[in-house]
Structure 1
């Protein structure tokens, strides 16, 4: 299966993390035919050096934005450079396991009706040495659609999607955060087919302070997303009210309680 990888990087990211992410792409058992790397604004010399070191090792196509535009804009611009029908997402600080694309390509070959495919991921500490949580998601389309009314049903860094399907709904909605969740919501409403695999195919670099940093300002971003989900018809009125209430309580809760809820939910 021919596919492109789509990744974005910006100036505040760590060169060592980008190196690990690109190295994991270079070590795939089924390598990508194209890796589209979007420079979301000017990068540091150290990040540029990492990218340069992979020229010739990866089939890199660079899309350079003159200023930092944010992830949604960067990914939409990068999609214009993707030459293949299938696009695999990857974040610039995560590590794809060597069998990732082999497993995903085999699944898509057997399920030609699927438009968006994800998998489980391990959330690890910054060093990637310690597992913090296993992020499990429902596998069947009907379960994914139900799950989407409460939380994002797809783990964005491990997703593979049909490019034409994403472009048909206008690309990533221009949200500051959770642009992927907004996209899945829109595609589910439009009738596109989703699936997840039970295998863990990626390590996600998160750190233990993730939930503690998600306070009231984060809730305001979630509220914008919930309004969007209500407007497009994913959420009914009762689902909308329940989500707003639950998320508000979670975001203003003490850090220890947030951490406990987060680990139970995962």
Structure 2
């Protein structure tokens, strides 16, 4: 039987966890799958453990040790199915995930990526920042919510998703670039008019561990994330501005850093907004800081870029209560 889903599972030096990870995928038999297991030059027994499964659904591919993007590209070259699921060699996929995600993609032709809620483990390793990020990410379900917060942070956990193959190929597949390969992909799909969403159920246990690329690779740094967001937000702002001046709500460190990133893309704010009376009347990045009482819906497009916990939600509620339309008259970023 031809697979409906190809699970791309790149791995390197995960001998301690690959049995559990691969077993969690293979036990899910509701939909015909194949697992493209790409060994990215492991130096331990990882590949031998994968081979020991002797399951015809597992396709072993020898990688080059060139990193996750090249491994995913190799996996795609061997994959046969029209839908591609992601999995890592140290996570745990939850039962029923693939059928539920396939159903969601089958019901919405404009949906390119479907994720699901994730749980980080083991609990004693997970830091407060990661807990907050996962809680934020898990709260985003609909395409509208994902599009709304796309420039705040990456809204999907990569190993939790299933991707429509033709959408992925349309935007050029995975690419090795100066920032995170998954966030870059979400941005390109959004720019091409595709939607992102999640199913309302847990689909993955996401293992937290020292040495994860998120913490060690400079392409995953906050600075590179800002640069990525600015690269894709700049043309979006140009499209929706319609002659309006650009204003940044947030004259603190988050707003100033984001302004600096946008300046690299040729975008400058005409002024900043802040509620702190000590900042009002001062200058940030060469632009005046004003209070929120003077903003003009007809003449300016606002980018909300604040870092204080809860501040974005308060500003979003304030602007919405005044009749401002998110996505057309204001955009949230970070």
Tell me which interval the TM-score lies in, with the shorter structure as reference length: 0.7 to 0.9
Q: 1:195 to 1:124 in 2, by over 3 A?
A: same
Per the TM alignment, residue 168 of structure 1 is displaced from its structure 2 partner at its CA by 1.0
| Counterparts of 2:252 and 2:36, CA distance in 1 | 36
- Report the TM-score when normalising by structure 1: 0.77
| Counterparts of 1:247 and 1:137, CA distance in 2 | 27
Tell me the alpha carbon deviations over residues 205-234 of structure 1, each in whole angstroms, 9 at most, x when there is no partner: 014998x95798823432442343346648
Per the TM alignment, residue 107 of structure 1 is displaced from its structure 2 partner at its CA by 2.5
Q: 1:248 to 1:231 in 2, by over 3 A?
A: closer
| Counterparts of 2:79 and 2:237, CA distance in 1 | 29
- Report the TM-score when normalising by structure 2: 0.62
CA contact (8 A) 2:4 2:31 kept: no
CA contact (8 A) 1:156 1:180 kept: yes
| Counterparts of 1:222 and 1:216, CA distance in 2 | 10
CA contact (8 A) 1:7 1:90 kept: yes
| Counterparts of 1:194 and 1:205, CA distance in 2 | 23
CA contact (8 A) 2:94 2:204 kept: yes
Q: How does 1:22-171 map to 2 (within 5 A)?
A: 22-40=22-40, 42-56=41-55, 59-66=57-64, 68-125=65-122, 133=131, 134-135=134-135, 136-171=138-173
Q: 1:19 to 1:175 in 2, by over 3 A?
A: farther
Rg larger for: 2
Q: 1:156 to 1:38 in 2, by over 3 A?
A: same
| Counterparts of 1:222 and 1:206, CA distance in 2 | 20
Aligned twin of 2:17: 17
1:229 paired to 2:232:
yes
Equivalenced residue count is 245
Per the TM alignment, residue 35 of structure 1 is displaced from its structure 2 partner at its CA by 0.7
Q: How does 1:228-247 map to 2 (within 5 A)?
A: 228-230=231-233, 233=236, 245=254
Structure 1 vs Structure 2 CA RMSD: 3.8
Per the TM alignment, residue 28 of structure 1 is displaced from its structure 2 partner at its CA by 1.1
Q: Secondary structure at the match of 1:139?
A: coil
Query: Comparing both chains, which one has the higher relative contact order based on Cα–Cα distances under 8 Å and sequence gaps of 6 or more?
Result: 1
CA contact (8 A) 2:38 2:75 kept: yes
Q: 1:139 to 1:209 in 2, by over 3 A?
A: same
Q: 1:15 to 1:215 in 2, by over 3 A?
A: closer
Per the TM alignment, residue 244 of structure 1 is displaced from its structure 2 partner at its CA by 8.2
CA contact (8 A) 1:96 1:201 kept: yes
CA contact (8 A) 2:51 2:60 kept: no
Unaligned runs of 5+ in 2: 259-307, 314-334
